[in-house]
Amino acid sequence: MKKISHKISLVVVLVTLVASGLALGSAIFHQIAIISQNLNNSCLSLAKVTAEVVYRGYLTRTWPLKTLSEIVRQEDNIFCWIVDSKGEIVMAGRTEYFGKKIPAGYLLKTQVPVIFRTIYQGKPINLTIYPVRPDESPDWSVYLGTSIKSLILARNRAIYNNLIIFLGAIIISILLSLFLTRPIVLPIVKLTKAISKVGEGKYPKQLKIETKDEIGQLTSAFNLMCRNLEKSELALKQKAKQLENMLKMKTEFLHVINHQLRTPISILRGYVNLLASKHYQKFPPEKQQEIKNKLVIATEKLARLTNTMVDAVELEGGYWKPKISSINLVKLVNSAYSSLAEKYHQKNLYFKLNVPADIPEIKSDSKYLELVIYNLLSNACEFTEKGGVTVSLEKQDDFVIIKVKDTGIGLSEVDKQRLFKKFTRGEIASSISPSGSGLGLYIVSQILTVLKGEIKAESKGRNKGTTFILKLPINYYG
């Protein structure tokens, strides 16, 4: 960009140089012409006066030698001769010239005054010839030799003065070029830097170039382009992230299908094949009913596992959008427990719900919040052999705290660190229920993240029970 600035400045300076050079030459030529004209006029006037004095002296027979001497004594006048038609000096400002012949090149017979440039004793002079030609006078002429030293000095002075003006014009033109090109070059420099950043994938802040010319319009168009590119890139990144998540989910989904669905499907296939075989009819009614019950249980496990995987896909893919409504937490907890009540009775486990009077309704997603409570109550039942589960509700400022406490197998410190990760289960839990998917608590944490809630697990160690603590906002703000 500096090259552009230099080029613009160079063009301005060159134009100024040419214009100033032409103006300088014209001014010098004009001034020298005026000075030369003034010198010529002065010489003609002096020669004319001399001719008149000579003529009066001729009439009165008194030669104006004193006048001629005074003329010669003037600084610029080199000689003043009165010359006849034969080129002989009749009178002169200095007596040593009397009777001498003038240089051959000087003799010029003319009836009108003449001035021309010539050389006298190696120096340039103005030679003025003014005829003294009254009818009764002899054929004489005034020869006035004037030095052009003053003309040369005046010319040199004019050149010097104009050169000073010329240099001043150059300096002013350079300063003006810098001043004038700055408003043009600086916006272009900013645009160039911004374009370089865009080329690197970095979108700069909106450029502020407040001009109403083409550069201002270009800046506005560039800012609009950057905004559109940034939006497009953000959208592409989001799509790429979604695609990456989908590919990741696909891989994990295939992994789950390979490891988690194979066993229940194999069990189902075995029971179905047994039902279709001829041997089934030979079993006593009690055995047949046992087989049917096991088939129902295997089907329910497969359905739960499938639903869990679908929930995980919805949550990870960002397809789930919470549907917010008012929720009575007591009814929600009881609804989740009702689906598990038979299991609790079969294992002879108690279920308690402690609810203070000041528990308000909350704004959240009823379906998925019930799924959270269901998963926690289901896990508590699964890994508790004696005792039971207690659910407590309490209000803290703008939040509701839900505690699900069991008397089950407890957690180790290692289990606490990885409890809410996908496809991860506690060490003892894996041995007690090897068919688990490892997705339940992961789904719980994902749901609570979307609902602006929190969850953590506390346990004093193995076989000392576990407490899951949920923190939910009373009013959900998406």
DSSP string, 363-415: EEEHHHHHHHHHHHHHHHHHT--SSEEEEEEEEETTEEEEEEEE-SS---HHH
SS3 137: coil
Within 13 Å of residue 284, how many CA atoms lie on the same side as its CB?
A: 2
What digits encode the pLDDT tens for the residues 318-337?
Answer: 666 788 899 999 999 998 88
Question: In the CATH scheme, what is the homologous superfamily, with its name and number, of domain 322-473?
Answer: Histidine kinase-like ATPase, C-terminal domain (3.30.565.10)
- Domain spans of the chain? 2-158, 229-320, 322-473
For residue 112, list its beta bridge partners. none
Fold adopted by 2-158: Beta-Lactamase (3.30.450)
Q: How many Å apart are CA 311 and CA 315, to the nearest integer?
A: 6
Sheet holding 399-406, edge to edge: 350-354, 388-396, 399-406, 467-473, 454-458
* Residue from 312, 324, 335, 332 nearest 473 by CA: 324
From the list 335, 347, 336, the residue with the least C-alpha distance to 383 is: 347
Give residue 406's pLDDT: 92
* Region for 438 from its dihedrals, namely left if φ exceeds 0, alpha if ψ lies in -120 to 50, beta otherwise: left
Q: Which residues of 33-71 are buried (b: 16+ CB within 10 A; e: fewer)?
A: eebbeebbeebbebbbebbebbbebbeeeeebbebbeeb
d(CA 221, CA 209) in angstroms, rounded, equals 12
> Angle CA(395)–CA(400)–CA(405) in degrees, nearest 5?
100
CA angle (67 as vertex; 110, 55 as ends), nearest 5: 45
Dist CA 70 CA 442 (whole Å): 126
> In 297-377, where do the E strands start and end?
324-327, 350-354, 362-365
pLDDT, tens only, 409-445? 888 887 777 777 766 555 554 444 445 556 778 778 8
470 close to 333: Cβ distance less than 8 angstroms:
no
* 121-164 confidence digits (pLDDT tens): 888 888 888 888 655 556 788 888 887 777 677 777 777 777 78
What is the C-alpha separation between 196 and 198, in angstroms, rounded? 5
CA distance 141 to 131: 4
For the chain, which residues score pLDDT lower than 50? 1-2, 429-434
In the three-class reduction of DSSP (H, G, I as helix; E, B as strand; rest coil), residue 419 is classed as coil
Alpha-helix runs per DSSP H in 142-284: 149-199, 214-256, 262-276
d(CA 284, CA 36): 148
Give yes or no on whether 2-158 and 229-320 have one common fold.
no
pLDDT at 258: 61
Residues 140 and 133: their CA atoms lie apart, in Å, by 7
Per-residue pLDDT tens for 86-120? 888 888 877 777 878 887 777 777 778 888 888 88
Predicted local distance difference test score (pLDDT) of residue 200: 64
pLDDT of residue 238: 83
Instruction: Rounding to the nearest 10 degrees, give the CA dihedral for residues 361, 364, 367, 372.
Output: -90
Q: What are phi and psi of 125, to 5 degrees?
A: -140, 165
Q: How far apart are CA 447 and CA 223, in angstroms?
A: 40
Radius of gyration of the chain (CA): 59
Q: Residue 26: its pLDDT value, please?
A: 73
pLDDT at 254: 64
The CATH number given to 229-320 is 1.10.287.130
